[in-house]
Each structure stands twice: as C-alpha cells, then as structure tokens.
Structure 1
Amino acid sequence: MNARRAVGAAKMTGDTLAERNARATVDKTKRALGERGPVWWDDGAPDYNRQMASSTPYAPWFKGQP
C-alpha cells in the first residue's frame, strides 16, 4: 500500500520520475505476490477472464443480475 500511496502522491505533485519509480515498485510487489506474471496454478479449469459473462457458463447467473 505504501507504493500505491506513493503513486498517488507523485501524481498530485506532478513528479513523473517518482511516479515511474513508485509504479515499478507496485509492479514488483504484485509479481512477488503472484498477482501478475505467468499463471502459477493449473487446475485444468477453463479461464473465463477477459470474456463477457454472457458468453460463458455463468450467463444464466449474469442474466439474473439487476
């Protein structure tokens, strides 16, 4: 969270170098946590990320949402 706050602070002050460095820190942290980068799990289930819910097996559920 410190790095994300640093991104916001750099944006507020217009310090592009500090923003770039803070964003690099955020990226490094997310990769270390497994939130970015190559998939580290393989359970055999299809990946429906970046697909419209209406064109997946979740379509009936999605149709019932307000």
Structure 2
Amino acid sequence: MAEPEHTPDGRFVIINGRRWRATDPEIPPETSARLRSLLMAARRDVGAALRAEDAEAEREARARVQLAKVALGERGTPWWEQTAGQRRQRWQEGLEALDRHDA
C-alpha cells in the first residue's frame, strides 16, 4: 500500500482530498504497529457490535478506538505541541490502557 500524501509540514495526510492528522512520527515503529493493530481490532469490534445491535459493546469498542487514536497522536493535543516526554507518555499510557482491555 502506498504512503498517503503529507502536507509540507508533515502534520497531516491527504486522503481523497481530505486532510487528516498524521500519526506522530516519533513513535517507535514496533509501538506504532502495535497501536495500529489494536486500532483496527477495535474498529472491527465496532462493526461487529453494530451488526449485533449491542450498544454496550459498541461504546466499549469506540472507547478503544479513541484510546488508540489519541495514543497515535491523531486525536487529542497535537503531537507537534507536546514535548518529547509528553509524546512518549501519551503513547505508552495509551498502549497500556489498550493492553488492559485486551487482557
């Protein structure tokens, strides 16, 4: 899969003409891959909950999507406004919270 187009400052990706916040480039590759994997699992769970018409499961899955998106830097305080320590803390805490949901 081709990399999406980025804005010149690298803060956003352009997909189908729409601008989306880019993932924090400072996240280590293995951590970023794990967070993306957890994000995709949560998205699949949202779909399954919708098909099953299970409102509680949907809320839980959407909360996991939010945790993953924040940990990746795609939501919440923009990663370019955070210090290196704050960025590291954001993705570590997000990963820990998502791992607790997986347990």
Structure 1 and Structure 2 fold alike (TM over 0.5): yes
Instruction: Tell me which stretches of 4 or more aligned residues in structure 1 moved more than 3 Å.
Output: none
Aligned match for 2:65, one of 19, 22, 26: 26
The number of residue pairs the alignment matches comes to 42
Q: In structure 2, what is the equivalent of residue 3 of structure 1?
A: 42
In the TM superposition, residue 12 of structure 1 has moved relative to its aligned partner by 0.3
Match in the other structure for 1:39: 78
Amino acid paired to 1:28: L
Which 5+ residue runs of structure 1 have no aligned equivalent? 43-66
Structure of greater relative contact order (alpha carbons < 8 Å, 6+ residues apart): 2
- Map of 1:13 onto structure 2: 52
TM-score, scaled relative to structure 2: 0.40
Query: TM-score w.r.t. structure 1 length?
Result: 0.61
Q: Give the number of the structure whose alpha-carbon radius of gyration is greater.
A: 1
Q: Counterpart in 2 of 1:52?
A: none
Cα displacement (A) at 1:40: 1.7
Structure number with the higher strand fraction is 2
Say what the alpha-carbon RMSD is for the aligned residues: 0.9
Which consecutive unaligned segments of at least 5 residues does structure 2 have? 1-39, 82-103
1:37 deviates by: 0.3
